[in-house]
């Protein structure tokens, strides 16, 4: 069951109008004072570090309908020198990775030495689709068959890699892979390190081959983004062609990206500008990684390729091969299934011959559909357009366009024939922080809670409250601390980030490094007196007991104190 938000009019014949109503009225509703039905995020205190600053602006909503003209001053600087949209709101830019990674503040991440992350894409918050991340994810727990796919020949493939326990064999191979990276003295972007076990899976658990694949993706990202990020204003017009766009999720909440080659403009072929197709595809993938995933729960997407009105000679094989190359090599392990729809009879026959030669892994991913009703096994019908076997009217420029992405809320149950529930709470994509979307690989040196916990954004509490869901203990502690200390709450967040960074640096030190030793006076051997600390006699130094769950105890204390208040 999803979370209910403010009530909006709903009628089976006017679902598109309801979506437009959300787009036109959503910002106004969320700016009104708190009511019994809606809990509005409060204005955040001024941030003291880059990551907090990137996440502290008010919740955005989707852009107005496509038929509404833009104000002439959109994007122009306001009196304070900041860009504003048509309503005078600041055009806040969002990114795929935390700012501290871009600045190179961390030494290691996921056991690999890192370099400053390049910016991959930018987007204004007003262009974020309200249902980029459905609030169902807050209570979703993926079953085993979604985490790891098992095949008839005994082979298996992990689909979910981050914030989730890995097998002993995976941990051993990962450790070897980390050591191999140190031996080769290579550094990676933090986003690439989070993919390490995906490379291992592709390399059939061969650490050296996995590092080779990892370096190829690192080199590709360095080269592709060397001239700067893909900016919304550079691709939004091309997006409105409806060639590549997000629309819907399957029963496991995996997003679907729709690819319609027939809509590629002929001039792109004539001018040899298929790079435009690749740029909008990569923009979509970076959007997916920042706003549509939850590590440990939802890490994959589906690709639905529509070949309607394309004969065998018209299918743009070169363009599709480029799409497959980008997704298969550099966004490795992200595609759960390829669905190929509306295939001509000749292509269907050829596909049957090719499919017979595929491995079980490849057969699971590649699905050539002879009947669109096969999609009903994985999707609610309102998550599919009518020409793809669903009940949703075809998406066009006139019905709102393809960007911001035309995403609808659930229910997501496979085969569901009803309407989308437009009372669902929007803006679930603000639950996670930048770091939270990136995820972390399992570390045997950390506790289960430390490995699996999510990193939340500053607006997460308000989303949980609007959904009438319990607030996670670690989030409750942060919120109460901020309430008690005012602006110092932001300072604590910065300190906690720095402490966590120090812990990462300490835990991933080379195993050959010498232990720290104390002399008979309690001084650290080999360190000058001016830099040394008396660890034995320092009465303020207390080593934490690893058996004590400080978060749980603090949370219980806070609850008890609140109940005791008159």
**Whole-number pLDDT of residue 78:** 40
Buried b (16+ CB within 10 A) or exposed e, 415-430: ebeebbbbbbbbbbbb
Confirm whether 100 is domain-assigned. yes
The C-alpha atoms of residue 27 and residue 266 are separated, in whole angstroms, by 39
The residue whose two tokens read 């590549």 is: 244
Taking 70 as the threshold, does the pLDDT of residue 335 lie above it?
yes
Last residue of a domain, which of 430, 452, 486? 430
Confirm whether 452 is domain-assigned. no
The C-alpha atoms of residue 200 and residue 183 are separated, in whole angstroms, by 17
**Whether residue 501 is found in the same domain as residue 399:** no
The predicted model gives 195-215 an average pLDDT of 96
Confirm whether 178 is domain-assigned. no
Confirm whether 156 is domain-assigned. no
**Whole-number pLDDT of residue 153:** 84
Contact (CB, 8 A) for 8 and 21: yes
Contact (CB, 8 A) for 211 and 456: no
More confident residue, 552 or 467: 467
Tokens of 509: 């030190």
Confirm whether 532 is domain-assigned. yes
**Whole-number pLDDT of residue 177:** 97
- pLDDT tens, residue by residue, 211-242: 999 999 999 999 999 999 999 999 999 999 99
**Whole-number pLDDT of residue 235:** 96
- pLDDT tens, residue by residue, 181-197: 999 999 999 999 999 99
Tell me which residue range forms the domain holding 556.
Answer: 462-564
Confirm whether 165 is domain-assigned. no
The neighbouring-strand residues paired with 231 are 122
CATH code for position 113: 3.40.525.10
More confident residue, 92 or 334: 334
Mean pLDDT of the chain: 75
Give the model's confidence band at 22: pLDDT under 50 very low, under 70 low, under 90 confident, else very high. Answer: very low
The C-alpha atoms of residue 76 and residue 91 are separated, in whole angstroms, by 10
Taking 60 as the threshold, does the pLDDT of residue 342 lie above it?
yes
Buried b (16+ CB within 10 A) or exposed e, 37-51: ebbbbeebbebbbbb
pLDDT-above-90 percentage for the chain: 50
The predicted model gives 373-401 an average pLDDT of 95
**Whether residue 367 is found in the same domain as residue 235:** yes
**Whole-number pLDDT of residue 233:** 95
- pLDDT tens, residue by residue, 135-159: 999 999 999 999 999 988 888 999 9
**Whether residue 425 is found in the same domain as residue 307:** yes
**Whether residue 119 is found in the same domain as residue 28:** yes
**Whole-number pLDDT of residue 540:** 38
Tokens of 350: 């050829």
**Whether residue 259 is found in the same domain as residue 320:** yes
* Beta-carbon contacts of residue 406 (< 8 Å; ≥ 6 apart): 19, 129, 245, 246, 247, 395, 400
Give the model's confidence band at 100: pLDDT under 50 very low, under 70 low, under 90 confident, else very high. Answer: low
**Whether residue 394 is found in the same domain as residue 290:** yes
Of 91-100, 483-492, 545-554, the poorest mean pLDDT is in 483-492
**Whether residue 494 is found in the same domain as residue 370:** no
Taking 60 as the threshold, does the pLDDT of residue 85 lie above it?
no
- pLDDT tens, residue by residue, 286-306: 999 999 999 999 999 999 999
Give the model's confidence band at 51: pLDDT under 50 very low, under 70 low, under 90 confident, else very high. Answer: very low
Tokens of 403: 């960007």
Give the model's confidence band at 14: pLDDT under 50 very low, under 70 low, under 90 confident, else very high. Answer: very low
**Whether residue 73 is found in the same domain as residue 122:** yes
Give the model's confidence band at 353: pLDDT under 50 very low, under 70 low, under 90 confident, else very high. Answer: low
Give the model's confidence band at 66: pLDDT under 50 very low, under 70 low, under 90 confident, else very high. Answer: very low
Taking 60 as the threshold, does the pLDDT of residue 434 lie above it?
yes
The C-alpha atoms of residue 109 and residue 543 are separated, in whole angstroms, by 25
The C-alpha atoms of residue 460 and residue 473 are separated, in whole angstroms, by 12
The C-alpha atoms of residue 554 and residue 548 are separated, in whole angstroms, by 11
The C-alpha atoms of residue 330 and residue 221 are separated, in whole angstroms, by 8
**Whole-number pLDDT of residue 477:** 66
Give the model's confidence band at 519: pLDDT under 50 very low, under 70 low, under 90 confident, else very high. Answer: low
**Whether residue 352 is found in the same domain as residue 397:** yes
The C-alpha atoms of residue 319 and residue 258 are separated, in whole angstroms, by 15
User: Can you list the alpha helix ranges (DSSP code H) found in 406-445?
Assistant: 434-438
**Whether residue 492 is found in the same domain as residue 550:** yes
**Whole-number pLDDT of residue 79:** 41
The predicted model gives 63-92 an average pLDDT of 43
**Whole-number pLDDT of residue 65:** 38
**Whether residue 544 is found in the same domain as residue 402:** no
Confirm whether 361 is domain-assigned. yes
Confirm whether 439 is domain-assigned. no
Evaluate the CA torsion angle 454, 138, 426, 374 in order and state its sign. positive
Structural domain tally of the chain?
2
pLDDT-above-70 percentage for the chain: 62
The predicted model gives 39-47 an average pLDDT of 38
**Whether residue 96 is found in the same domain as residue 242:** yes
Among residues 355, 447, 497, 363, which one has the least CA distance to residue 52? 497
């Amino acid at each position: 069951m999803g979370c209910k938000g403010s009530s909006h009019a709903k009628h089976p014949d006017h679902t598109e109008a309801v979506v437009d109503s959300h787009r036109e009225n959503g910002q106004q509703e969320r700016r009104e004072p708190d009511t019994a039905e809606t809990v509005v995020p409060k204005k955040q205190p001024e941030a003291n570090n880059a990551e907090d600053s990137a996440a502290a602006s008010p919740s955005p909503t989707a852009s107005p309908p496509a038929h509404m003209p833009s104000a002439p001053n959109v994007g122009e600087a306001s009196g304070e020198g900041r860009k504003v949209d048509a309503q005078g709101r600041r055009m806040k830019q969002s990114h795929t990775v935390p700012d501290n990674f871009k600045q190179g503040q961390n030494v290691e991440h996921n056991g690999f030495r890192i370099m400053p992350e390049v910016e991959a894409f930018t987007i204004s918050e007003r262009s974020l689709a309200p249902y980029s991340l459905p609030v169902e994810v807050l209570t979703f727990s993926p079953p085993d068959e979604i985490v790891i796919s098992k095949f008839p020949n005994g082979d298996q493939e992990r689909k979910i890699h981050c914030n989730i326990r890995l097998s002993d064999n995976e941990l051993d191979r990962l450790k070897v892979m980390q050591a191999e990276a140190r031996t080769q003295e290579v550094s990676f972007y933090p986003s690439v390190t989070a993919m390490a076990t995906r490379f291992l899976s592709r390399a059939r658990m061969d650490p050296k081959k996995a590092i080779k694949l990892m370096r190829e993706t690192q080199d590709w990202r360095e080269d592709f983004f060397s001239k700067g990020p893909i900016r919304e204003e550079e691709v939004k017009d091309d997006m409105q062609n409806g060639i590549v766009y997000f629309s819907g999720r399957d029963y496991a909440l995996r997003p679907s990206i729709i690819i319609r080659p027939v809509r590629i403009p002929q001039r792109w072929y004539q001018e040899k500008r298929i790079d435009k197709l690749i740029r909008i595809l990569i923009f979509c993938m970076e959007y997916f990684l920042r706003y549509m995933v939850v590590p440990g729960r939802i890490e994959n997407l589906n690709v639905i390729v529509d070949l309607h009105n394309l004969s065998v000679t018209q299918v743009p094989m070169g363009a599709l091969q480029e799409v497959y190359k980008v997704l298969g090599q550099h966004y490795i392990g992200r595609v759960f299934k390829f669905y190929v729809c509306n295939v001509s009879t000749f292509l269907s026959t050829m596909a049957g011959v090719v499919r017979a030669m595929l491995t079980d892994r490849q057969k699971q991913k590649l699905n050539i559909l002879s009947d669109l009703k096969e999609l009903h096994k994985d999707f609610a019908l309102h998550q599919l357009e009518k020409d793809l076997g669903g009940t949703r009217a075809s998406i066009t420029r006139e019905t709102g366009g393809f960007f911001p992405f035309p995403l609808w809320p659930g229910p997501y149950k496979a085969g569901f024939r009803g309407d989308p529930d437009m009372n669902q709470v929007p803006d679930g994509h603000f639950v996670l922080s930048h770091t939270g979307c990136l995820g972390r690989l399992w570390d045997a040196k950390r506790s289960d809670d430390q490995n699996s916990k999510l990193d939340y954004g500053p607006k997460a509490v308000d989303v949980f409250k609007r959904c009438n869901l319990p607030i996670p203990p670690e989030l409750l502690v942060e919120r109460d601390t901020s309430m008690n200390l005012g602006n110092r709450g932001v300072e604590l967040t910065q300190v906690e980030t720095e402490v966590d960074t120090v812990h990462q640096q300490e835990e991933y030190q080379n195993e050959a490094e010498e232990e720290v030793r104390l002399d008979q006076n309690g001084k650290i051997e080999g360190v000058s007196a001016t830099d040394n600390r008396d660890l034995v006699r320092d009465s303020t130094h207390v080593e934490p007991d690893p058996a004590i769950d400080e978060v749980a105890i603090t949370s219980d204390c806070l609850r008890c104190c609140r109940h005791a208040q008159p």
